[in-house]
Structure 1
Amino acid sequence: MTPFLNAAPNTPEAAYTETHIRGRNCAERLNGVFKARFRCIMGERKLRHHPDKVGHIINACAILHNICVEGRLDNDFEIEIQNDDVDMGSQVLLHNEGNIAKQNLIRRYFMQN
């Protein structure tokens, strides 16, 4: 999901955008750590699987990462943040579905009753 560009102040869309921006920083740092530790999710090795399977792969990476952290295993990698090229063809197919999910999220959490 994406933030709204130029959302009017004090609207549900502005509240959603503010929350989105705050959460994205954490997610980007996490992506950098995971990509450095688990090369299978690096840019050139795109996960070309069904989204459910990708979710399982990412969950497994999170579990393994937590085991490494708890076991105090050294991080012998450097975190490198890079912009991956996005396959726009597959992104367009999910655009409408994403907009519907975003509107449902705003109605549920950011609109006052």
Structure 2
Amino acid sequence: MTQAHPTSGAEPDPACPVSLEQLGAVYRAEPEDLPEILSAIPPLTRAKLAAYLYGKSHMHQLGLSVARTCTREDLVRVAGEIGSVIHGQSGLKPAKPAAPPPVSGGPVRKISLGGSAAKGRSFD
């Protein structure tokens, strides 16, 4: 399989229920603009888009955002039982990113690979 050069244009994914233009608009939308963009997409197509995005690891959260604008019935109609799962997860608050561990202000301890039993030994 060959990969397209970034300047040669994107190949449409046959599984995507919307045009590349619509997908790009949804992907690039600011959170406050997303509802207006999604309102132009018919409900069942929007539910299909939510399921499609949910299945892509790098667009999972966007899929949940789209799913928030769908009814449970539409999600189940287009995606079966996973539609119910998507609907349930879309109602949960997004997880906060993990906070970095606190930086300790204490001195840095050196670690020896020789261990304490090796100290004082002579290796003649």
Q: If the length of structure 2 is used for normalisation, what is the TM-score?
A: 0.22
Structure with the greater alpha carbon radius of gyration: 2
Bigger share in helix: 1
Q: If the length of structure 1 is used for normalisation, what is the TM-score?
A: 0.23
